[in-house]
Amino acid sequence: MTPFAFHVARDCAEALSLGAASGARFIGGGTNLVDLLRQNVESASKLVDVSRLAANIHEVGNGALLVDASVKNSALAAHPMVRGRYPMLSRALLAGASAQIRNMATVGGNIMQRTRCAYFYDVDGARCNKRQPGSGCDAIGGFNRYHAILGVSNDCVATHPSDMCVALAALAALVHLVGPEGERTVPLAEFHVLPGASPQIETVLRPGEMITAIELPPATPAMANSEYRKVRDRSSYAFALVSVAAGLEVVGGKIAEARIALGGVAAKPWRATRAEAALRGLPATRANFLSAAEEELTKAQPLEGNAFKIGLVQRTTAAVLESLAGERA
């Protein structure tokens, strides 16, 4: 680890001015950043601790829920309004990491966490375009069981590892940002970007900009009737092979609204808009769920080690939607 200064930000304005220095990095819980600094994947000259900024969850005028970026993952998962109105979000958070890590991890840090691609971490032994642009990608042709099947490029096939973000994408959450040029909001589903020829660029966040909050839109029936299912190599404390966040509203046997997002398949939480559109107005049957999921994956580009993800995503999506249809029927 290279030496760095450490400052605690007392308010947003102070965080922004401290964070404007070159080499400065925001730190939330540190559960990802401390690890990456220690392994020399990343470096910093200054850490700006944003974990002590206000950490509130409150309802705003129209019934939307505003969650400050410093709210801990465990606090968000346990919040009564989240459990009641957006169960897929509580479920996604509770499926992630361990109780200790959820107590430390912040909402902002969770969104910004980096890939778990083992080659990305292997500073001395592996080539990685994300870590060192232009050096190559050892995952392509290497061990790629955990890697992406959608939105991949010839330069990077890494996945975004967050469970929380998959639910946020399905809920159409907004990310609130503030930076040197002022405030703006970006839909969570557009916050992370696909790798293309520059996998080192992972989000639309600008230099010096920070996440201040996420906004959950007023709950619809499909948000309230929602689930998160995670498939992994052990039943707890493991990253997803694939995961599905889904919400469903069935009226008179026909699908009024389906919300679906996929995890473990791309460099971003993947909102399955094609499948959602395909399902609208159809009867809520397993066959329809399966063919919608198939349609979403027609453009999948599997690697040697992860072709199983295509079928796994289809079956998991269909199973989740079936159980949601059952609960409403």
Partner 1 sequence: MTITINGSDYAVPYDSRVSLLDMLRERLSLTGTKLGCNQGACGACTVLLDGERVLSCLTLAAQADGRDVLTIEGMQGADGSLHPLQKAFIEHDGLQCGYCTPGQICSAVAMARELRRGDPSHVTANLAAGPDGPTREEIRERMSGNLCRCGAHNGIVEAIEEMLGREAA
Ligand X SMILES: Cc1cc2nc3c(=O)[nH]c(=O)nc-3n(C[C@H](O)[C@H](O)[C@H](O)COP(=O)(O)OP(=O)(O)OC[C@H]3O[C@@H](n4cnc5c(N)ncnc54)[C@H](O)[C@@H]3O)c2cc1C
Q: Which stretches of the chain bind ligand X, using CB under 6 A?
A: 25-33, 50, 69, 96-97, 101, 104-106, 108-110, 112-113, 161-164, 210-211, 239
24 binds ligand SF4 (CB under 6 A): no
What is the rounded distance in angstroms from the CA atom of residue 107 to the CA atom of residue 211? 9
Contact 210, 184 (CB under 8 A): no
Which residue is nearest to ligand X, using beta carbons? 109
Q: How many residues bind ligand SF4 (CB under 6 A)?
A: 14
Contact 129, 120 (CB under 8 A): no
CB of 181 to partner 1, least distance (A): 29
Q: Which residue has the tokens 């801990």?
A: 72
Give the contacts of 100 (CB within 8 A, at least 6 positions apart).
none
**Ranges assigned E (strand) in 235-282:** 242-251, 254-263, 270-271
Q: Chain centroid to CA 158: how far?
A: 13
| 226, containing H or E segment | strand 226-231
Nearer to ligand SF4, 158 or 262 (CB): 158
| Residues within window 93-122 making contact with partner 1, judged by CB under 8 A | 94-95, 97-101, 103-104
Nearer to ligand SF4, 120 or 289 (CB): 120
Amino acid at 122: D
Name the residue among 1, 49, 47, 59 with its Cα closest to residue 21.
47
Q: Per-residue contact track with partner 1, 46 to 85, x per CB under 8 A?
A: -x-x-x----------------------x--xx-x--xx-
Nearer to ligand SF4, 140 or 325 (CB): 140
Distances (CA, A) of 104 to 31, 52, 99: 7, 12, 9
Q: Which of ligand SF4, partner 1, ligand X, none does residue 199 bind to, with CB < 5 to 8 Å depending on kind?
A: ligand SF4
264 binds ligand SF4 (CB under 6 A): no
Q: How many residues bind partner 1 (CB under 8 A)?
A: 38
What is the rounded distance in angstroms from the CA atom of residue 110 to the CA atom of residue 197? 25
Q: Which of ligand X, partner 1, ligand SF4, none does residue 120 bind to, with CB < 5 to 8 Å depending on kind?
A: ligand SF4
- What are 87's strand-pairing partners? none
| 183, containing H or E segment | strand 182-187
Distances (CA, A) of 11 to 14, 76, 147, 185, 304: 5, 21, 38, 19, 48
CB of 159 to ligand SF4, least distance (A): 9
137 binds ligand SF4 (CB under 6 A): yes
Nearer to partner 1, 105 or 255 (CB): 105
Q: Which of ligand X, ligand SF4, partner 1, none does residue 161 bind to, with CB < 5 to 8 Å depending on kind?
A: ligand X
Distances (CA, A) of 78 to 74, 75, 92, 217: 6, 5, 12, 19
Nearer to ligand SF4, 85 or 130 (CB): 130
Name the residue among 145, 102, 95, 112 with its Cα closest to residue 245.
95
Q: Tokens representing 257?
A: 């609204």
221 binds partner 1 (CB under 8 A): no
CB of 93 to ligand X, least distance (A): 8
CB of 254 to partner 1, least distance (A): 27
Which stretches of the chain bind partner 1, using CB under 8 A?
A: 1, 3-6, 8, 27, 29-31, 34-35, 37-39, 47, 49, 51, 74, 77-78, 80, 83-84, 87, 90-91, 94-95, 97-101, 103-104, 236-237
Which stretches of the chain bind ligand SF4, using CB under 6 A?
A: 115, 117, 119-120, 128-130, 137-139, 156-158, 199
